[in-house]
Amino acid sequence: MADLPTPASLGFRMPAEWAPHRGTWLSWPHKHASWPGKFEPVPGIFARMVRELARHEEVHINVAGPDMEENVRALLQRERADLARVVFHANPTNDAWCRDHGPIFVHREAEGRREQAIVDWDYNAWGGKYPPYDLDDVIPTRIGRELGLPVFHPGIVMEGGAIDVNGQGTLLTTEACLLNPNRNPDLTRAQIEARLRAYLGVRHILWLGDGIAGDDTDGHVDDLARFVDPTTVVTVVERDPRDENYEPLQENLQRLRSMTDQDGRPLRVEQLPMPPALHHEGQRLPASYANFYIANGIVLLPGYDPERDAQARATLEHLLPDRRVVVIDCIDLVWGLGAFHCVTQQWPAA
């Protein structure tokens, strides 16, 4: 790593999610095994997402080829999405979790203009849980080639849902995921931190502990806590002491309250409720209001329960007052063990 230029050494950094977008990337769902017995409603949920996003920014969709594109176009037309702002890309995928296999965009200011590059982490489907994943692993490089952008290869396993940044130099992640031996067993915490600094342009790394029950990613931070401005983190908290999420979320809350940003300023920590425990076929699902997605002018918030949906929506409306918070029912989507943040990847404005 030391012998080759890295994004940070060249002045690149990862912007915050709320920074202006050119668009949002999605990989269209097609793997029935990700939603066993419940795949049928999933494309319709994606179509509603596209309709809402396309009101505010471009939507770029990875599809297997012309037949899938034709089917998706027809579904989007029925949903009355603005197809003029939808761009299809012939990039076949294994699955739909674009947050984790999609491109991480970094940018820098050079000679009065903004330049972009892509970081392409190695991808192994959350520790080799769901092979095959060879098509997903090459998505960032395929997109970089199509867009004519430089692509950097850190050479370690990482997923987009495992990290969150404030755009000013601070990154939030979890020990449960990044230190899991099914990712990078030969790397120490210090070595992982060095790669994050070198490839994302961050300088201050904050570690939370365990993830929520039912999360097959081994504790992605996007189900736990998210930056909503450079010094504010919103985190989910379980109110029922009998729930298995209660203690790990309390521990993460206490950690956040002791943390600072890259300049030593204490974080402002706000709380989101957890949805009621959601099960399907005896399995606890990783339903979390932290899995929202911030786009231009809009926040997509997963819905699970009318009363708590309203509480979560009010909190995000207060914290992100320049955006409309749209709740879309995700009870069917989360059977695939993810929600809106898991299936989206932002493309910052150039």
Whether the upstream peptide bond of residue 131 has omega within 30° of 0, thus cis, is no
The mean pLDDT value of the chain amounts to 97
- Name 324's bridge partners: 298
- Name 301's bridge partners: 327
Single-letter amino acid code for the residue at 63:
V
State the Cα–Cα distance between residues 286 and 11, nearest whole angstrom. 37
The answer to whether position 1 is within a domain reads no
The answer to whether the Cα torsion of 337, 33, 135, 187 is positive or negative is positive
CA atoms within a 13 Å half-sphere pointing along the CA-CB vector of 116: 18
Query: What CATH number does residue 116 fall under?
Result: 3.75.10.10
- pLDDT at position 1: 44
The residue among 174, 264, 254, 180 whose CA lies nearest residue 220 is 174
The answer to whether position 108 is within a domain reads yes
State the Cα–Cα distance between residues 162 and 318, nearest whole angstrom. 25
Task: Give the chain's domain count.
Answer: 1
Domain span including residue 132: 8-348
Single-letter amino acid code for the residue at 203:
R
Burial grade of 69 (CB within 10 A; 0-12, 13-18, 19 or more):
middle
- pLDDT at position 3: 67
- pLDDT at position 115: 96
State the Cα–Cα distance between residues 233 and 268, nearest whole angstrom. 6
Dig out the tokens for 245 from the structure.
């999420």
The answer to whether position 309 is within a domain reads yes
The answer to whether position 3 is within a domain reads no
- pLDDT at position 74: 98
The residue among 115, 117, 188, 114 whose CA lies nearest residue 156 is 188
The answer to whether position 2 is within a domain reads no
50-93 tens-digit pLDDT: 999 999 999 999 999 999 999 999 999 999 999 999 999 999 99
Residues of the chain with confidence (pLDDT) below 70 = 1-3
Q: Which of 98, 177, 330, 342 is catalytic?
A: 342
**What b/e readout covers 211-221, taking b as 16+ CB neighbours within 10 angstroms?**
bbbbbbbbbbb
Dig out the tokens for 121 from the structure.
């982490």
The answer to whether position 137 is within a domain reads yes
Single-letter amino acid code for the residue at 15:
P
Say if residues 339 and 291 touch (Cβ distance below 8 Å): yes
342 classed as catalytic:
yes
